[in-house]
Amino acid sequence: MKEQTTEGRNPLGYERLPRLLKSYAVPSIIAMLVSSLYNIVDQIFIGQGVGYLGNAATNVSFPLTTICMAIALLIGIGSAAGFSLELGADNPDKAARYVGNAVSMQVILGVIYVIIIQTFLPLLLNAFGATPDVMPYAVSYTRITAFGMPLLIVTNGLSNLARADGSPKYSMSCMLLGAIINTILDPVFIFVFEMGVAGAALATVIGQFFSFLMAAAYLRRFSHVTVRREYFVPELAVWREIATLGMSNSLNQVALTLVQIVINNSLTYYGARSVYGSEVALAACGIVMKTNAILLSIIIGLSQGSQPIIGFNYGARNFDRVRGIYRLAVTCALCISAVGFILFQFFPRQIISVFGSGDPLYFEFAVNFMRTFLFMVLINGVQLLSANFFSAIGKPMKGVFLSLTRQVIFLVPLILILPLFLGVTGIMYAAPVADTLAFAVSVLMIRREFAMLRWMEAEQEHAERETV
C-alpha cells in the first residue's frame, strides 16, 4: 500500500522508462555539456587570442578544476542519491535534511578549497607539470578562476537536487545561463579589452556567479519536501552519508586529476626527449582531454539523469524498473560513444584546428594522440554508468571500486610503465588498454548485482504470496 501511494505522487515509480530517461537525462546532458563548455570555450578563445602557450596553461591548471568538480559531485550526487532513496521510501523529512546539509557542506568546503589554491598556487602548478614558459599564463588564469570554484560547487550540488526533485529543466537552465554569459564575455575580454588569459578567467567567474544565483533560488521551489532553516545546521551523520553515497563519482574525478598530473609530468619528461618538445605535447594533450570531456559530459549527464529513477525505484523495491533503466542508459551510452569514436578517428585534425593553429609537428602529435588515446571510447560509458548505478542503489563502496578501476588501478600504472619501452607513444597506448580492462570488470560486477536483484525480487514475491 505504501508503494502505491508513493507511486501515485511521483511519476518515477510508474512512468514509462524511455520517457522518464528522456525527460531527466536530456536536461542533465545539456547541463553537463554546458559545464564542460566553460573550459572548451576558454580554450578556443585563448588558442586564437594567446596561442598554444595559453592552451598549455589551461591544461596545467585543469587538475584544479577537476578537483573542484570532485567536491561538487561528492556533495551533489551524494545528496541527490540520498534524497531520491528517501523519497522512494516515503521519508520526506529525511530527504529535506539532505538538502540543507548539502548546502552547508558545499559552502564550507568551497571556501576551504579557494584558500588552499590561493596559498599554494605556484607549488600546485609546478606539481601539475608547468614549464617556465607556461607558468605566468597558468598563474594569471588560475588566480581568478579559483574565486568561482565555490560558486561552481554550490550550483552543481543544487542542480543535482533540483533534478532529483523532478525539475531537470530548471537544473539545466542554471548551467545554461552561466555558459551563455561566459561565451559572450570571453571574446569581449580577450580581444576587445586585450586581457588575455585573465579575461577568459574573469568571464568564467561572472558566468558562474549568475548560475549560482539561479540555483540558490530553487531552495524556495522544492516540490516534494519543505526545507527548513534548521536543516542547514551541519549534521555530521548526514554529511557522512552524503560523502559515502557521492564517493564513487567524486573519486572518478579525483582519479582523473591524478591521471592528468601523471600525464602532464610524463609528457613534460618524455616530450622533451622527443622531436615534439614539452610544450607541444602538453598543449596537444590538453585539447584531446578536453575534447574527450565533451563526450564524457554526455555520458555523465546520462548517468545523472538515470540516478533519481534508479534510486527512487530501488527505495520503492521496484527492481524490474531498476534493471530496465540501467540497460536503457547503457544502450544510449553505447550509441553516443559510437558517434564520438567516428569523430575522433576520422576527423581529428578538423577538431584540433578549432583550438588554434600550430606547426606541423604540433598537428602530427595531436592527431596521433587523439586517435590512439581515445581508441576505446566506445565502451567507456559502461564503467561510468555502472559506478553511478551502485551509488544510486545505496552501495557506494562498489561504486568507489569501479571508479578507481579505469583511472587508478589500470591507467596510471600503464602511463608510468609503457613509456619506459615506447617513449612518449607509450602514454597514448595506456588509455585503450585501461578502458578494455575497466569495461570487463564493470560487466562482471553488474551481472552479479542483477542476479542479486532477481533473488530479492523472488523473495519479495514469495513474501507477498505468504501474506495473502
Residues in the chain where the model's pLDDT stays below 50: 1-8
Residue 4 confidence (pLDDT): 44
Measure Cα distances from 180 to 17, 183, 185 in Å. 31, 5, 9
Residue 9 confidence (pLDDT): 60
Q: Range of 331's domain?
A: 2-467
Residue 118 confidence (pLDDT): 95
Total-model pTM: 0.72
Give backbone dihedrals phi and psi of 50, rounded to 5 degrees, phi first. -115, -40
Residue 1 confidence (pLDDT): 37
Contacts of 342 (CB under 8 A, 6+ apart): none
Q: DSSP state, 225?
A: -
Residue 75 confidence (pLDDT): 93
d(CA 54, CA 43): 8
For 207-261, how does the pLDDT look when each residue is reduced to its tens digit (9 = 90+)?
Answer: 999 999 999 999 988 888 888 888 899 999 999 999 988 887 787 777 777 887 8
Q: How many domains does the chain have?
A: 1
Measure Cα distances from 12 to 205, 226, 318, 345 in Å. 35, 19, 10, 39
Burial of residue 464 (number of CB atoms within 10 Å: 0-12, 13-18, 19+):
exposed
